[in-house]
């Protein structure tokens, strides 16, 4: 089975588009189609249904996708091992993280890493921390920087890097911003704008509310923190944001029952040998923690 055909299949499955996959693979669209056709011929099974401009996995495609990912990841690992037999730090560094961590915590680290290790190919994939953790456990990423709440899987190793306070906030013109007798019970009577599930932050908030025999009146949910912040800032409800996201568009509230902190950790698979690039990246992280 040709690995290039398999990787083309993974790209089309992820992008749901032959044209967008062609751009990522630096190929023409006919070339991508040819690779998929060759794979379908080899397997004697149709992998995609094309309905108008949409591309959907068939039953056979859904069965193939998890194994295709594992095969591709294992070949990447083999390539990294061979590349790292030399003295220089080269090869591919695959990292999973969330957009918030990438922008507010990882940017400086990556800048310093790039200055020191110019020959390393950095591959960063963004998703929420729940999905990123699962990807590390499946072997899709060599390591990840994730928001963690509670213990991680026994198959993973966690190293805490940063801690960040979560703050209850509202818009500057929200009624709670002018309330002299603000307390937890009054907050619970107002609509909330919270992260959707599954997310680490939502789990933290929900568990804290349950511990206080309370339940938020959730009016809206958001997948990413920037959208969450926007909805809070225009007065759609109260919410919780990492301290690094606070600015003049929101007002912080003092709610003792919702004094939360999230830990941001580097996570790797317990059984996976780190490449030299990954080890060098760990050395770039704050040395006071590692």
Give yes or no for residue 85 having a pLDDT over 80.
no
Q: Tell me how many degrees the CA angle 9-155-69 measures, rounded to the nearest 5.
A: 5
Residue 164 · residue 243 · CB < 8 Å: yes
Structural contact between residues 193 and 221, judged by C-beta atoms closer than 8 angstroms: yes
With 90 as the cut, is the pLDDT of residue 35 above it? Answer: yes
pLDDT for the residue numbered 288: 37
> 226 CB contacts (<8 Å, ≥6 apart)?
99, 245
Q: At residue 140, does pLDDT exceed 60?
A: yes
The structural domain count of the chain equals 2
Candidates 161, 141, 171; CA nearest to 250 is 171
Is residue 32, in this structure, part of any structural domain at all? yes
pLDDT at 189 over 90: yes
Going by pLDDT thresholds of 50, 70 and 90, the confidence category of residue 41 is very high
Rounded to an integer, the average pLDDT of 122-139 is 88
Which helix (H) or strand (E) segment holds residue 79: the answer is: helix 59-83
Band of pLDDT at residue 83, cut at 50, 70 and 90: low
Instruction: Kindly tell me if the per-residue pLDDT of 156 is higher than 80.
Output: yes
**Domain final residue, candidates 39, 65, 91:** 65
Phi and psi angles of residue 107, each rounded to the nearest 5 degrees, phi first = -55, -50
For residue 86, name the pLDDT band (cuts at 50, 70, 90). Answer: low
Contact 126, 220 (CB under 8 A): no
Q: Say if 208 falls within a structural domain.
A: yes
For 20, the domain range is 1-65
pLDDT of res. 60: 94
pLDDT in tens, 67-82: 999 998 888 878 777 7
Q: Which of 45, 65, 85 is the last residue of a domain?
A: 65
* In-domain check, residue 108: no
For residue 33, being part of any structural domain is answered with yes
235 contacts: CB under 8 Å, gap ≥ 6: 170, 171, 173, 174
**CATH code assigned at 209:** 3.40.190.290
Instruction: Report the CATH number that the domain containing residue 54 is assigned in CATH.
Output: 1.10.10.10
């Amino acid at each position: 089975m040709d690995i290039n055909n398999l990787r083309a299949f993974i790209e089309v499955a992820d992008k749901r588009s032959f044209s967008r996959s062609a751009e990522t693979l630096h190929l023409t669209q006919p070339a991508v189609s040819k690779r998929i056709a060759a794979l379908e011929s080899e397997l004697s099974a149709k992998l995609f249904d094309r309905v108008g401009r949409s591309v959907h996995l068939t039953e056979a495609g859904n069965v193939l996708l998890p194994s295709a990912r594992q095969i591709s990841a294992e070949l990447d690992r083999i390539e990294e091992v061979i590349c790292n037999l030399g003295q220089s730090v080269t090869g591919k560094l695959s990292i999973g993280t969330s957009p918030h961590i990438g922008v507010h915590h990882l940017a400086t680290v990556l800048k310093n890493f790039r200055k020191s290790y110019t020959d390393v190919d950095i591959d960063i994939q963004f998703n929420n921390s729940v999905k990123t953790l699962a990807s590390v456990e499946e072997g899709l990423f060599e390591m990840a920087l994730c928001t963690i709440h509670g213990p991680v899987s026994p198959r993973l190793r966690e190293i805490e890097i940063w801690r960040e306070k979560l703050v209850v906030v509202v818009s500057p013109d929200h009624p709670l911003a002018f309330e002299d007798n603000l307390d937890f019970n009054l907050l619970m009577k107002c609509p909330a704008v919270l992260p959707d599930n599954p997310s680490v932050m939502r789990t933290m908030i929900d568990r804290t509310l349950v511990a206080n025999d309370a339940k938020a009146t959730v009016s809206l949910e958001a997948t990413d923190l920037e959208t969450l912040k926007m909805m809070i800032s225009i007065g759609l409800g109260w919410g919780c944001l990492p301290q690094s996201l606070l600015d003049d568009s929101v007002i912080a509230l003092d709610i003792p029952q919702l004094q939360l902190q999230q830990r941001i950790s580097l996570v790797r698979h317990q059984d996976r040998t780190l490449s030299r690039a990954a080890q060098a990246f760990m050395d770039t992280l704050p040395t006071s923690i590692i």
